[in-house]
Structure 1
Amino acid sequence: MNVIQEYRPSGRVVRAVRMALARRRVVIGLVVLVMLVVAAWLGPMVAPWEAGERDYDAFLAPPSASHWWGTDSTGRDVFVTTLVGLRKSLVLGLAVAVLSTAVAGVLGAVAGFYGGLTDRAFMRLADLLLILPPFLILATLASLAQGGGWVTFVLLLAGLLWMVTARMARSMTLSLRQRDYVRAARYMGVPSHTIVLRHIMPNLAPLLTVDVTMNVSGAIVLESALSYFGFGLRYPDVSLGTLIADGSAHAITHPWTFAFCTGLLVVVVLAVHLIGDGLRDTLDPRTRR
């Protein structure tokens, strides 16, 4: 019992959070990200126009007191539409990151701990998916699942973002299963799944935490790229990617239809990367200074 209790992660988590918040990059990234989240959810509530509402007297109108960020080619208010798209991109990026990282952590830990046929099967699947072009696969599958909505799109993205992290988790697990406390738990007759949950997964937490933050920006950028080429979300769903695709046709003549959504995408990616870099430096002893 003492062996199991000794490695509970609560104290390490609190200490890691304090160390992360002591880094300026993490604080700046969190502040910017919180501001974006608040704007995405509260901004449309204070705007004079509803999401999807059209002003048929103002097509491609410049920013004004009536339309703070102007209107697009269909008369929609760019301010409201952009913030609604930001909201969907944030939700989609977080959902994809959490799902793909969870899959990677579980598969990597199971493959590394059990070994044998289980290890070979999971790793051959990861190798196969790494060889195939992910953009081409996503474009093909997204076209076949157009009626599935954004949830289906989340599953597709998560299904092709777990392989690298899974291989890293497997490598760490191969080392962790040789530790004394893991061997002691096995000699005490602790079930294998309990060892994985109580000893392996908590020690993979630093890797998985950094991976979640990086996958958020990666998923948002990948969704934006797919939407730009017409393989992403479909109307009535709207995201930063779909808005960039729609506004690119008027980027020169009517820059407000393209600049605001593109600028928000850049800010989101930078904020998430600041958090991810700070967490990596905090949780990885090799980069800690």
Structure 2
Amino acid sequence: MSEVVESRWLYIRISIERFIYNYIYMPLKIIWHVKLGFVGLCIITFYILMAAIGPLVVPYPKPYIYPRYLPPSLEHPFGTDHRGADIFGMIVWGAKDTLIIGFYTGTISMLIGLFVGLIAGYKGGVADRILDGAINIFLNIPATPIVIIIASIMRSGHPAVVALLLTITAWAGFARAVRALTISIKAEAFIEVAKSLGLPDWFIMLREVLPNMASYLANAYRGTIASAIAQSQGIYFLGLVPFYGLNWGIISNMAWYVGAQSSIRTVHFLLAPMIMITLLQIGFALLSYAIDAIFNPRLREEME
């Protein structure tokens, strides 16, 4: 009995070690040698930590505490706004809602797109025609007007609501690409072998088809998050949806509304959120180098 228990624990330990090596150690080792990708990963990690931990260490930016429009300094890295509130605190407290929209949109869009694309591409026939028609319809729906109209009707600019509204059209791009990749992979010999062994369709799709499109999925997920953040912050900046909480688009709108762009003494109020959004987009762009390297089998063999 003890030998059986020891064997099970040995199997579990080996499985954990293999998982850590293949999915944590090797990707980080590869990224370390891809400098642009490493910089991108550092930028994204910094933003995530700022959103998760920042509010625990940076006080909420209360107005009328400091003089108005103080320039950037060590005490106030981004200066103060028209109400005397610390802009750095606003940036930190606004990071969470800014990132939530991107990650919600990317995750939900990928899950829906995966489900629809895999079913359409693998099953074919009537299912493919129906789902492909739905994909084409949603691909041609303009996303921004939909978000503006529905958010205005609902009278909600909550980040989760905006993310769900962006998902209405974002999933279709995922689904179209996944469908095409699935059709291509389905024609490979190893899929026929899996079918001949009597393996269920769901197992073949998850075990054989899905891993062969991992590189595309990772890059598409990254791109969708970046696009959703840029699009949502633009909508908030223009004041096209009701404001909720604090994010960088709302901060930009406040700065523009009080005319921060009209004077060199006040322009730092507008530049702070714009710089943060720009650096975040650069981080996502550089991250694509890391993703490409991780899924490059030749590079992985060299690293091993």
TM-score (norm 2): 0.80
State which structure, 1 or 2, has the greater radius of gyration over its C-alpha atoms: 2
Q: Which residue pairs with 1:93 in the alignment?
A: 102
Match of 1:201 among 210, 214, 224: 210
Match of 2:177 among 159, 168, 175: 168
Shift of 1:268: 0.3
Listed one character per residue, the Cα deviations across residues 137-194 of structure 1 (whole Å, up to 9, x for unaligned) are: 2221222233372212111112221222211111110011122222222222222122
Does structure 2 retain, via aligned residues, the 8 Å contact 1:43–1:83? Answer: yes
Match of 2:37 among 26, 36, 41: 26
Shift of 1:205: 1.4
Measured in 2, the distance between the counterparts of 1:284 and 1:169 equals 20
Query: In structure 2, do the counterparts of structure 1 residues 34 and 168 end up closer, same or farther at CA, with 3 Å as the change threshold?
Result: same
1:165 maps to amino acid: F
Listed one character per residue, the Cα deviations across residues 12-44 of structure 1 (whole Å, up to 9, x for unaligned) are: 756666444431111011112222333344444
2:275 maps to amino acid: G
Does structure 2 retain, via aligned residues, the 8 Å contact 1:145–1:152? Answer: no
Measured in 2, the distance between the counterparts of 1:177 and 1:125 equals 22
61-70 vs 103-112, which deviates more? 61-70
**3-state secondary structure, aligned to 1:161:** helix
Listed one character per residue, the Cα deviations across residues 86-115 of structure 1 (whole Å, up to 9, x for unaligned) are: 222122212211221222122111110011
Query: In structure 2, do the counterparts of structure 1 residues 17 and 161 end up closer, same or farther at CA, with 3 Å as the change threshold?
Result: farther
Equivalent pairs counted in the alignment come to 276
Structure 1 stretches lacking a partner, 5+ long: 1-8
**3-state secondary structure, aligned to 1:140:** helix
Shift of 1:56: 5.7
Select the structure that is richer in helix: 2
Match of 1:238 among 238, 241, 246: 246
Shift of 1:64: 5.4
Does structure 1 retain, via aligned residues, the 8 Å contact 2:37–2:287? Answer: yes
Listed one character per residue, the Cα deviations across residues 118-137 of structure 1 (whole Å, up to 9, x for unaligned) are: 21222212211222222222
1:99 maps to amino acid: I
TM-score (norm 1): 0.84
Once the two structures are superposed, the pairs formed by residues 221-236 of structure 1 within 5 Å of their partners are 221-232=230-241, 234-235=243-244
Query: In structure 2, do the counterparts of structure 1 residues 22 and 64 end up closer, same or farther at CA, with 3 Å as the change threshold?
Result: closer
Listed one character per residue, the Cα deviations across residues 196-255 of structure 1 (whole Å, up to 9, x for unaligned) are: 1221122221111111111121111011111122234623x2111111122123123211
Q: Which residue pairs with 2:46 in the alignment?
A: 35
Measured in 2, the distance between the counterparts of 1:26 and 1:233 equals 36
Does structure 2 retain, via aligned residues, the 8 Å contact 1:105–1:204? Answer: no
Shift of 1:260: 1.0
1:50 aligns with 2:60: yes
Does structure 2 retain, via aligned residues, the 8 Å contact 1:232–1:242? Answer: no
Match of 2:283 among 243, 257, 271: 271
Q: CA RMSD in A?
A: 2.8
Measured in 2, the distance between the counterparts of 1:56 and 1:190 equals 67
Q: Which residue pairs with 2:270 in the alignment?
A: 258
Does structure 1 retain, via aligned residues, the 8 Å contact 2:146–2:165? Answer: no
